[in-house]
């Protein structure tokens, strides 16, 4: 089981420059809150239980999905590719379409605890890696249902392709009325390089919440790649709705994107991995503790991130044994953030080496040299070798139960 958290400067701009009018309006196809009364359906596979949706694209029947496409090439059923059965859906978006999306979407959820499974294939001929600034593609997202009077906002959870990497981007807000500029936080989880020309099976288990009981678990091809506990969505009256396809704002030299999707399933909170996973995609049922809030002894510091204290943007993850070359950074004013697997009561830092320093941080982000409302304090490190250890605690002020600490060694050079 692993959790990777990587926030890079270009990817942190995801959605933050989205000021185009069409970018932040509600979808043309308004999802109705209609799954509330839907009973569990019978799957083609007898072992699957608690399913709400099963779409294998074997016929033209799309209910309960709606389509949000604008060109004939935007969505087609095809027998050229299939994850199972004889057909799949092919979704395409072209720069010349002058549209932001070709997507299919489900009605809004009426319970916070949901399972999702689907399989995607990204042809390499359509997925050239773009290195342009602010170039990214959303291939699946859970879109918020804005409360009355609220403007459209960034999707609280999105599966994103950026610069050849696959990421889960997450935003949350604890206040009841919020905008993109007043969100409480965001995280970007790196799932690894984009896999092309092969079917990739995804399973998401989500308990939508703006509080500490939020759950976000992700499996790729039967292997668990992400475990997160904590806030993962907005404080809205209604739960989000699922969309998949292609959403793209900036093209650069890229002119087309296309993907195949198949075997989409959703299930209620009483389901399990095997209920929604595409057939044959491993038998990795999640351990029972994954569905429960993380106990104090399960709290962990999982990684460290180097932060630009001038811009409050993340630079890179600091691995054990890393060398931080100051001349290669955009600034000499830096900070270091400890990333935890869930919201914790406090984090105690102990830095030794070229500088000896200790600090207890009581709230996220857990920054070695502190922050004020996400404005990171600046540290200009002396050259030399360092050892950093951060220990999470279940309560404030380095009290309660201690979780699993993380110790790294790193060197700062000119």
Please check the confidence at residue 71 and state whether its pLDDT lies above 90. yes
pTM: 0.65
Residue 289 has a pLDDT of: 37
Q: What average pLDDT does this structure show over 246-262?
A: 94
Residue 196 has a pLDDT of: 94
C-alpha atoms less than 13 angstroms from C-alpha of 345 in its C-beta half-sphere: 15
Q: What percent of the chain has pLDDT over 90?
A: 59
Residues 6+ apart with CB under 8 A from 383: 326, 354, 412, 413, 414
Residue 39 has a pLDDT of: 61
Is the backbone peptide bond immediately before 365 cis, with ω within 30 degrees of 0?
yes
Complete domains list, the chain, with CATH? 9-291 (2.60.120.200), 296-413 (2.60.40)
Q: What average pLDDT does this structure show over 370-395?
A: 91
Mean pLDDT of the chain: 85
Work out the number of other CB atoms within 10 angstroms of the CB of residue 332.
14
Residues 6+ apart with CB under 8 A from 105: 27, 29, 31, 65, 66, 68, 143, 241, 242, 243, 244
- Distance CA(216)–CA(157), nearest Å, equals 9
Query: Beta 215-220 vs 75-78: how paired, if at all?
Result: unpaired
For 198-211, how does the pLDDT look when each residue is reduced to its tens digit (9 = 90+)?
999 999 999 999 99
Q: What average pLDDT does this structure show over 354-366?
A: 89
- Distance CA(69)–CA(29), nearest Å, equals 10
């Amino acid at each position: 089981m692993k959790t990777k958290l990587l926030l890079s400067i270009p990817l942190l701009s995801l959605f933050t420059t989205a000021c185009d009018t069409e970018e932040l309006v509600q979808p043309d196809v308004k999802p109705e809150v209609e799954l509330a009364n839907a009973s569990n359906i019978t799957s083609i596979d007898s072992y699957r239980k608690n399913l709400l949706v099963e779409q294998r694209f074997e016929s033209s029947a799309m209910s309960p999905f709606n389509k949000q496409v604008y060109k004939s090439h935007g969505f087609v059923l095809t027998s050229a590719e299939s994850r199972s059965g004889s057909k799949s859906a092919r979704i395409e978006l072209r720069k010349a379409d002058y549209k932001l999306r070709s997507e299919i979407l489900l009605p809004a959820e009426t319970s916070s605890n949901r399972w999702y499974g689907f399989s995607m294939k990204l042809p390499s001929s359509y997925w050239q890696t773009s290195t342009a600034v602010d170039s990214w593609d959303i291939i699946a997202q859970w879109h918020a249902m804005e409360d009355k009077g609220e403007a459209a906002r960034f999707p609280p959870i999105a599966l994103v392709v950026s610069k050849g990497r696959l990421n889960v981007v997450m935003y949350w807000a604890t206040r009841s009325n919020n905008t993109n500029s007043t969100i409480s936080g965001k995280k970007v989880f790196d799932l690894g390089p984009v896999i092309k020309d092969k079917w990739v099976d995804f399973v998401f288990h989500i308990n939508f919440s703006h509080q500490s009981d939020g759950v976000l678990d992700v499996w790729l091809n039967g292997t668990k790649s992400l475990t997160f506990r904590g806030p993962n969505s907005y404080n809205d009256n209604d739960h989000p709705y699922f969309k998949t396809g292609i959403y793209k704002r900036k093209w650069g030299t890229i002119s087309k994107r296309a993907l195949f999707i198949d075997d989409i399933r959703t299930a209620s909170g009483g389901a399990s991995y095997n209920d929604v996973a595409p057939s044959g995609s491993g038998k990795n049922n999640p351990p029972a503790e994954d569905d429960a809030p993380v106990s104090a002894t399960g709290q962990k510091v999982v990684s460290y991130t180097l932060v630009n204290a001038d811009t409050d943007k993340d630079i890179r993850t600091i691995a054990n044994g890393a060398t931080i070359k100051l001349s290669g950074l955009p600034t000499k004013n830096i900070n270091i953030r400890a990333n935890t697997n869930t919201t914790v009561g406090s984090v105690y830092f102990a830095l030794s080496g070229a500088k000896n320093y200790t600090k207890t941080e009581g709230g996220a982000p857990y920054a070695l040299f502190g922050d004020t409302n996400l404005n990171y304090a600046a540290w200009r490190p002396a050259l030399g070798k360092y050892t950093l250890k951060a220990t999470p605690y279940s309560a404030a002020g380095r009290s309660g139960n201690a979780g699993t600490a993380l110790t790294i060694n790193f060197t700062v050079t000119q």
